[in-house]
Amino acid sequence: MTKRLWIETVGCQMNVLDSELVVAALRRQGWELATASSEADAVFYNTCSVRQHAEDKIYSALGRIRQEKLRRPELVIGVIGCMAQKDQLLVRSRAPWVDLVVGPGQLHQIPTLVADVLAGGGPRLEVSLDRKAGSRDAVTLSFESYDPDRDPTMRPTPFQALVRTQTGCDKFCAFCVVPHVRGPEQARSVASIVAETQKLVAEGCLEITLIGQTVNSYRWNEGGKMLRLSDLLEQLNSVDGLERIKFVTNYPRDMTDDLIAAVRDLPKVCPYLHVPAQHGCDAVLSRMKRGYTIGEYMEMLHRVRESLPHAAVTSDFIVGFCGETDAEFTRSLDLVRSANFKNSYIFKYSPRPGTKAFERQIDDVPEAVKRGRNQMLLDAQTVVSLAGNQPFIGTRQQVLVEGLSAREEKNGGLPSVDGQAQLMGRTPCDRIVVFHAPLRLIGRLVDVDITATAAWSLVGVVADGLAEAKLLDELPSPASASALYAIALPTRTPTGAARA
C-alpha cells in the first residue's frame, strides 16, 4: 500500500529546498504526501538551529507527536536538517520516540533509512563529522551535497525554483551555528547549475533564486579559470525562457564591482540584494567577527547605489549581542535610518553552543532589553520602509503572481463569486504586491498598477485587467498555489518576527 509522508519545515530557503528534494526522493519510491500528520506513515521535521526558538518549536512538536506514536508505534518519526547535526544523540535522549536523526549532509540516505526502519531495523542516526573532527577534506566529504535530478511532476511550484550554488559556510561569524551544522563551503559546478536551470525552465520555470549561505562568495575553478557569481549570472541570463534570476544571501565583503555590474547589465538579474549588515557599530561587528567595519559596509552600499539606484537592498540585524550597550545599539538605529533598506529581518541574539561567542563572550543583555531594542529597530525600519514604498504609487510594476495573499490563505482561499481572489506576487525588486484577480493568473507575469502602499507591501490592480482575465480564461489553469504547497512551509515576513 502507498505510504504517506508529512513534513514540516522551519528555517531558511536551504531547508525549503532540502524538503522539496526529500519529498521528491520518497515520492520516487512510491510515497505520497499526507494531508495531516495523523494520516501519515512517516512524520519528518526539517529543522533549524540558528536560534534557540527554532529548536524549542521542534522539541514541542516532538512532544505533541508522541501521542500519535503511542497510538501507532509503526509511525516513523524523523528529525532531519541542522538540529539533527547539532544535537545528534541528544535528540533521542530528549525524545526517544524519534526513529531517524539525519543531518543536512546525509539527506541522500533518507529513502534507504526509512525502508530500514519500516523493516524493523530500529532507530538510525546519520550525521556528518564535526568541523574539528578531521582534516578539512574528511569533514567536507562527510557533508555530501544533495542535489539529485528534479522530477517536474514532483515540484511544489512549477514556475519558481530554488537552485543551490554552494553548501556550507567558512566565515565563522562568532554568533552563527551555520558553519558547524552545514559544514565547509562547497560550490557546485557552473555547468551543473546551468544544466539544472535549463531543465527547470524547460519544465515551465520562470524565476530561479540561487541560494548559498554567502552566495556571492561563489567560486568555481573551470580548467584553471576562476569563475565567480557574476560569470554564473551571465551564463544563466542567456537561458532562453528564463525571466528572472534572484540570489541570496550576500556577504558584504564579497559584493564586488563585477557582481554589481552583472546585476546592472544582465536584464534577467533582479535588482534585489540581501546584504546583511548585522550591526551598525564597529566594536560589535568586531566582537561578531564579521570581518568589516561600518565604513566598509557604507562604501559597498555607495557602490551599489551608484550603479543600481533603483535596487532594493535588505539587511539582517541582531540586537542584544554580547556586551551591546545602549550607545552601541544606537548605531544600528542610525544605520537603519540612513541606509534606506527595503526591509530588515531583526533578530534577538540567541547564544548557540559550539560558536565562538558562546564559548568566549557573555550573553549579558537581558531578554527584556533585547525585546525593547528589537521593537525600536523594527519601528525605525517600518518608517523607512513606508517611505521607500511611497514613490511606487502610480507606477506600473511587473509582478510574478505567486499565489493567494496571506489574508486569503487565512480565509481558506476560496475565490469570491466573481471567481477572483486576493493574490500576491513580487516585483523584480522583491516587493510584495497584493491585488484582486482570477486564480488562473497564479504562475504568470502580469503588469500591476500600484494604487496604495503599506510598509511591507504594495497594493494594486492588474493593468488592463478585463482583457487580461478574458485572454487567460482560454489558457489552461496551473494548479492553485495552496494545492501546490502541500508541504508545510515557514512563513517569510519582512519583520523577521515569524521567522523561526
* Positions in 187-216 near ligand F3S (CB under 6 A): 213-214
Binding mask 212-251 for ligand F3S (x = CB under 6 A): -xx------------------------------------x
Choose one: 35-43, 173-181, 374-382, 390-398; the region binding ligand F3S (CB under 6 A).
173-181
Choose one: 88-96, 112-120, 165-173, 459-467; the region binding ligand F3S (CB under 6 A).
165-173
Nearest one of 34, 103, 91, 102 to 63, comparing CA atoms: 91
51 contact choice in ligand SAH, ligand F3S, none (CB below 5 to 8 Å, kind-dependent):
ligand SAH
Burial 192-226 (b: 16+ CB within 10 A, else e): ebbebbbebbeebbbbbbbbbbbbbbbebeeeeee
Number of H helices, E strands in the chain: 18, 21
Q: Does 392 bind ligand SAH (CB under 6 A)?
A: no
Of the two residues 78 and 320, which places its CB atom closer to ligand F3S in the complex?
A: 320
Q: Does 349 bind ligand SAH (CB under 6 A)?
A: yes
* Positions in 433-472 near ligand F3S (CB under 6 A): none
Q: How far apart are CA 393 and CA 238, in angstroms?
A: 32
- Cβ atoms of residues 249 and 276 within 8 Å: yes
Q: Does 246 bind ligand SAH (CB under 6 A)?
A: no
Of the two residues 95 and 259, which places its CB atom closer to ligand SAH in the complex?
A: 259
Q: How far apart are CA 493 and CA 500, in angstroms?
A: 11
- With 0-12 / 13-18 / 19 or more C-beta atoms within 10 angstroms meaning exposed / middle / buried, residue 366 is exposed
Q: State the minimum distance, in angstroms, from the CB of residue 30 to ligand F3S.
A: 36
Among 178, 248, 275, 285, binds ligand F3S (CB under 6 A): 178
Residue whose cell numbers read 539525519: 102
Instruction: Give the three cell numbers for residue 286.
Output: 568586531
Nearest one of 231, 165, 228 to 196, comparing CA atoms: 165
Choose one: 68-76, 171-179, 356-364, 368-376; the region binding ligand F3S (CB under 6 A).
171-179
Bin 81: left if φ > 0, else alpha if -120 < ψ < 50, else beta.
Answer: left
Of the two residues 66 and 171, which places its CB atom closer to ligand F3S in the complex?
A: 171
**CA Rg value for the chain:** 23
Residue whose cell numbers read 547589465: 265
Q: State the minimum distance, in angstroms, from the CB of residue 477 to ligand F3S.
A: 39
Q: State the minimum distance, in angstroms, from the CB of residue 185 to ligand F3S.
A: 9
Q: Does 392 bind ligand F3S (CB under 6 A)?
A: no
Among 20, 207, 243, 316, binds ligand SAH (CB under 6 A): 316
Among 46, 140, 145, 278, binds ligand SAH (CB under 6 A): 278
Q: Does 252 bind ligand F3S (CB under 6 A)?
A: no
Choose one: 344-352, 366-374, 420-428, 443-451; the region binding ligand SAH (CB under 6 A).
344-352
- Cβ atoms of residues 174 and 356 within 8 Å: yes
Choose one: 10-18, 68-76, 168-176, 264-272; the region binding ligand F3S (CB under 6 A).
168-176
- What is the enclosing helix (H) or strand (E) of 455? none
Q: How far apart are CA 140 and CA 242, in angstroms?
A: 33
220 contact choice in ligand SAH, ligand F3S, none (CB below 5 to 8 Å, kind-dependent):
none
Q: Would you tell me the crossing angle of helices 190-202 and 229-237 to the nearest 10 degrees? A: 30
Instruction: Give the three cell numbers for residue 193.
Output: 547549475
- With 0-12 / 13-18 / 19 or more C-beta atoms within 10 angstroms meaning exposed / middle / buried, residue 347 is buried
Binding mask 170-189 for ligand SAH (x = CB under 6 A): -----xx-x-----------
- Which residues in this chain contact ligand SAH in the complex, by CB under 6 A? 12, 50-51, 175-176, 178, 213-214, 249, 276, 278, 316, 318, 347, 349-350, 352
